[in-house]
Amino acid sequence: MMAIRRSEERGPTRIGWLDSRHSFSFGQYHDPRFMGFRALRVINEDRVTGGAGFGEHPHRDMEIISYVLSGALEHRDSMGNGAVIRPGDVQIMSAGTGVRHSEFNHAAADPVHFLQIWIVPDRAGHTPSYQQQAFTEDDKRGRLRLVGSPDGRDGSVLIHQDVDLHAAILPEGVTVTHSPAQGRHVWVQVARGTVEVNGQLLNAGDGAALSDEDTVALTGKSNAADTEVLVFDLA
């Protein structure tokens, strides 16, 4: 069974420096039909103008992942971390018992385009932590590369939840498959390009929830540029 969440159906937030699209309810956008999927609570596609960003603000008991598609995102937090996140990087901040952070466009003029992902942790009260890992295009080209997991295996970032996060870059006509274990669920998020998922075409910004599927087959369908997808395997 597959349910598709089309890009144009997402909730918007538009202010002077921010253009954001929310796959699930977030901020002032509320839709009781779209409150998340399993432990996956937020997928925001954000575009931030040069020099602007989110000032310091608090979080707790949430796994927050940033995945940059273009440009560069500057992160600072109350744990003393300061970093610039670029395409290919996967950054996770486990807010745990509480942390404050800010996110700004690192460039003065060029926009930054990124996905912000929130996952509900397996329990409250984790010690706050920060991790950032770079994955090359070759790591993801034509394959599902594990980039986040509950045990940090294969060089992935550590997520405090029973979820495996994969990323793939798919040239046109290239197919990869994922076979979730019985009782597991899958969310596919298209970061760029067009992909066929079990016979259905999804474009950039589209997402799909899949349950009771033995195999999830993803085929790149963009003839102008490669397709990039994130695949969440969830309890």
Q: How confident is the model at residue 225 (pLDDT cuts 50, 70, 90)?
A: confident
Q: Is 188 helix (H, G, I), strand (E, B) or coil?
A: strand
DSSP 154: G
The structure's pTM equals 0.97
136-173 tens-digit pLDDT:
999 999 999 999 999 999 999 999 999 999 999 999 99
Question: Domain 2-234 carries which CATH code?
Answer: 2.60.120.10
